[in-house]
Structure 1
Amino acid sequence: MSLNPPTLGFLLHDVARLLRKRFEQRARDIGLTRSQWQTLAYLSRNEGIHQSGLAELLEIEPITLMRVLEKLTERGFIARKRHETDRRICLLYTTEEARALLSDMRAIGDATRSEALDGISDDDRDRLVIILDLMKSNLLQACRAPADKETHHG
């Protein structure tokens, strides 16, 4: 009985899971959860975004994000500022403390990626990123349209 090779979806899922696991092993001493790390990383690239916009980027419910933001605010990593024209909206910013932590986080991420890409040539690394980016674009476009009832293989 021969084993079938893993499908692309399972392989991508396993690689992503192992990248997260290894990152978490390296970042254990810093004391943030993965959702807190991810929130800080996305916020650092989108300073001044409002909560619902950040929730959309993270693909989580705003109420779920609110709990994460409360913890990060308590620890002094996030500052909330009222919108200039709409006082109901709070805009989110990282603090100096968070930016220092993000530097550590990037170093951990670099080391983790380096481990994952060990033995893969620079050209293959570049191609991998291009291919994954194209796959992401294809799927984002496809998700905007209703799914076909037929199952397509390819």
Structure 2
Amino acid sequence: MSKHEALSPQALLGFALADVTRLLRTIYDARLSAKGLSGASWRVLAYLYREDGLTQTKLADLLEVSRSAIGQMIDRLEAGGFVERRSDPADRRSWGVYLSPQAHETVGELMRASYAIETECFAIFNEKDLALLANLVGRLRDHLGTLPGAARKGGPGSD
């Protein structure tokens, strides 16, 4: 058996999916750094744009990072003037994270930058191919989420 044959097509696909994810993160980081953001911090802003006032715990779950990692990310976003923390009037122990007025003013520009990155990254696909790829990857993600061991140790909310 050759070295290439030692890996199943499924293993090679898994490696390719990991490479795609890494490359997308790298591209987002490089392109958004001029705006004071990383790909991960952009995702925080995008989630808040969709639903302002999420808790740090919810954001950590959505980004699949620890609460301490999201806390540091939010600290940087807050220092950059992108977000602000506000106490929850219904539960003083809980804090919501909100887009700052500055972020509300620049979110359109950031959405356009993100859309340009997406357009360039996925330009090799026509609409039909992209819809099929999104469907297949979504189905795989949903299936993997049901398998034993899918919950990450040391992941969201574990610290």
TM-score range, shorter chain: 0.7 to 0.9
Deviation of residue 97 (structure 1)?
A: 1.6
In the alignment, residue 55 of structure 1 is paired with which amino acid? Answer: A
For structure 2, which runs of at least 5 residues remain unmatched after alignment?
152-159
Q: 1:100 aligns with which of 97, 102, 105?
A: 105
Which residue of structure 1 lines up, in the alignment, with residue 122 of structure 2? Answer: 117
Matched length:
146
Q: What is the percent sequence identity of the aligned residues?
A: 29
Name the stretch that deviates more: 47-56 or 34-43: 34-43
Runs of 4+ in 1 over 4 A off after TM superposition: 1-6, 143-146
For structure 1, which runs of at least 5 residues remain unmatched after alignment?
147-154
Which residue of structure 2 lines up, in the alignment, with residue 151 of structure 1? Answer: none
Give the number of the structure with larger relative contact order, counting CA–CA contacts within 8 Å between residues 6 or more apart: 2
CA RMSD of aligned residues (A): 2.5
Relative to the length of structure 2, the TM-score reads 0.77
Q: 1:43 aligns with which of 42, 45, 48?
A: 48
Which residue of structure 1 lines up, in the alignment, with residue 157 of structure 2? Answer: none
Deviation of residue 128 (structure 1)?
A: 0.8
Tell me, in whole angstroms, the C-alpha distance in 2 between the residues paired with 1:18 and 1:62.
Answer: 25
Residues 1:7 and 1:95: Cα distance change in structure 2 (over 3 Å): same
1:141 aligns with 2:146: yes
Tell me, in whole angstroms, the C-alpha distance in 2 between the residues paired with 1:145 and 1:107.
Answer: 34
Relative to the length of structure 1, the TM-score reads 0.79
Deviation of residue 143 (structure 1)?
A: 4.6
Q: 1:26 aligns with which of 25, 31, 46?
A: 31
Which residue of structure 2 lines up, in the alignment, with residue 79 of structure 1? Answer: 84
Residues 1:119 and 1:58: Cα distance change in structure 2 (over 3 Å): closer
Deviation of residue 25 (structure 1)?
A: 2.7
Deviation of residue 2 (structure 1)?
A: 8.0
